[in-house]
Amino acid sequence: MNPIPLLHEKHILLGVTGSIAAYKAVDLASKLTQAGALVDVILTDSAARFVTPLAFGSVTGRAVYTDMWALDAHVRHVGLGEAADLLLIAPATAHTLSKLAYGQADNLLTLTALAARCPIVVAPAMDGGMWQHPATRANVATLSERGVLFAGPVEGRMASGLSGMGRMLEPLELLGEARRVLARGGPLAGRHVVVTTGPTREALDPVRFISNRSSGKQGMAMAQAALDAGARVTLIAGPTCELPPYGALVVAVQTTQEMGEATLAGTADADALLMVAAVADFRPQTVADRKIKKTENAQWGLAIGLEKTLDILTAVKERRDRTGFPRIVLGFAAETHNAFEYGRDKLLRKGLDFIAVNDVMAEGAGFAVETNRVILLGRGGVVEEMPLQSKAAVAERLIEHVAGALGND
């Protein structure tokens, strides 16, 4: 886990209650700490039957609180509640949801929740039909009306062996939820940003296709950076093994035509389009309806006729000239030579506001690596030359420029 600027020295109060899912909370505390957050943990008595304070103290390097009757507890709960940027209760049992809904304060966690002035996120975890029980639904409705945020639960296998709704989200998903909540009020708050990522595939027959080497890493980093800036993000993703960031609305596509249609639909009223995807520029003129066999060369030959695919950015420009949306468009130019010249030409031809140009032949800046080196061009020339750094760091700088261009409009 790499440091996350959004979480740097943020005070996160992690409440852990008595569920078998408490073991996941140790991993969550570790990930939050590695990301740069200051994590204070409150364990209920029931939680301490599943996991120990020592486990949490070992991964956070900070004190762990359990006793409401300690000499300083009457001050401690106020201090913890008021200092926290986020109170995250994971796992949250049905019993704890009931206590929170009725304002009970019979342990240090529920006492602190009453004193908290920060956002409260609960990650429910319960077995059987407990999540669907009318009492639980009523408590959830009450807490939601008061502004408490719910992360999950999801369907899955329970500790009892049953399957259903009630399984706690995984630590990485809860980390994403913490980022989403802490990003509220960021420079892109209230903005809709569309990001395209990954390659596209153009079928030759049912088992073969034409594509490229794009991994989707830079596009995923751009989507996460936009989320961290507070944006509502639509992520249009071609085939990629990279996990999309938590909180993005994902639209999965295969072909350039599908990506183009999804992009035009998604940007009809969008504030920004970040066209990071490396689309296939050509497709076979003819697609076989069954696998082409070597023994059929006499019929198919060894030549493949190609035709151009949809030029997505040109289609966006034509619609943008009519409607004004999306307000800002940032493109990417992955080149193997004359990168600056090709990038500047693409910027002008396609009416972009920005283009991030990178030479994929340069060491550490190609496909399927964790780093990148780009030159950001605007209509007035070079905006910034970014040295070799992580794709996440590149994404954060690019998002800053996009947010600045949008301003307060």
Residue 277 has pLDDT above 90, yes or no: yes
- As given in the structure block, the two tokens for residue 112 are 């602190």
Name the residue among 42, 38, 2 with its Cα closest to residue 22: 42
Q: Region 243-255: what's the mean pLDDT?
A: 96
Identify whether the C-beta of residue 282 lies closer than 8 Å to the C-beta of residue 202.
Answer: yes
Q: For 325-406, where are the alpha helices, taking DSSP H only?
A: 339-349, 391-406
Identify whether the C-beta of residue 67 lies closer than 8 Å to the C-beta of residue 76.
Answer: no
Instruction: Write down the architecture of domain 5-182 according to CATH.
Output: 3-Layer(aba) Sandwich (3.40)
pLDDT band at 408, cuts 50/70/90? low
Q: What is the SS3 assignment for 310?
A: coil
End-to-end CA distance of the chain: 36
Q: Region 333-357: what's the mean pLDDT?
A: 85
Q: What is the pLDDT of residue 47?
A: 95
Same fold, 5-182 and 192-406: yes
Residue 302 has pLDDT above 80, yes or no: no
Ligand-binding annotation for 354, yes or no, is: no
Q: Region 287-291: what's the mean pLDDT?
A: 87
Lowest mean pLDDT among 126-140, 295-309, 369-383: 295-309
Supply the pTM of this predicted model: 0.90
Ligand-binding annotation for 281, yes or no, is: yes
Catalytically active residues are 212
Ligand-binding annotation for 10, yes or no, is: no
Q: Region 50-64: what's the mean pLDDT?
A: 95
Q: Over the stretch 6-53, which tens digit does the pLDDT of each residue have? A: 999 999 999 999 999 999 999 999 999 999 999 999 999 999 999 999
Q: What is the pLDDT of residue 75?
A: 57
Lowest mean pLDDT among 67-81, 249-263, 300-314, 356-370: 67-81
Write down the CATH number for the domain with range 192-406: 3.40.50.10300
Instruction: Pick 83 or 239 by higher pLDDT.
Output: 239
Q: What is the pLDDT of residue 297?
A: 59
Residue 161 has pLDDT above 90, yes or no: no
Name the residue among 84, 126, 152 with its Cα closest to residue 65: 84
Q: What is the pLDDT of residue 77?
A: 56
Residue 170 has pLDDT above 90, yes or no: yes
Identify whether the C-beta of residue 119 lies closer than 8 Å to the C-beta of residue 86.
Answer: yes
- Residues in contact with 348: Cβ distance below 8 Å, sequence separation at least 6, in sequence order: none
Longest dimension (CA), the chain: 89
Q: What is the pLDDT of residue 129?
A: 87
Q: What percent of the chain has pLDDT over 90?
A: 72
**Unique residue bearing structure tokens 């070597």:** 294
pLDDT band at 299, cuts 50/70/90? low
Q: Over the stretch 69-79, which tens digit does the pLDDT of each residue have? A: 765 655 565 77
- Which run of H or E residues covers position 135? helix 134-145
- What does the alpha-carbon distance between residue 105 and residue 92 come to, in Å, rounded to a whole number? 15
Task: Spell out the SS3 assignment of 59-106.
Answer: HHCCCEECCCCCCCHHHHHHHHHHHCCEEEEEEECHHHHHHHHCCCCC
- Residues in contact with 312: Cβ distance below 8 Å, sequence separation at least 6, in sequence order: 196, 256, 259, 260, 263, 275, 279
Ligand-binding annotation for 350, yes or no, is: yes
Q: What is the pLDDT of residue 162?
A: 82
Provide the mean pLDDT of the chain: 91
Residue 198 has pLDDT above 60, yes or no: yes
Q: What is the pLDDT of residue 358?
A: 85
Residue 208 has pLDDT above 80, yes or no: yes
Q: Over the stretch 103-124, which tens digit does the pLDDT of each residue have? A: 998 899 999 999 899 999 999 9
Lowest mean pLDDT among 130-139, 158-167, 213-222, 250-259: 158-167
Q: Name the residue ranges covered by the structural domains of the chain.
A: 5-182, 192-406
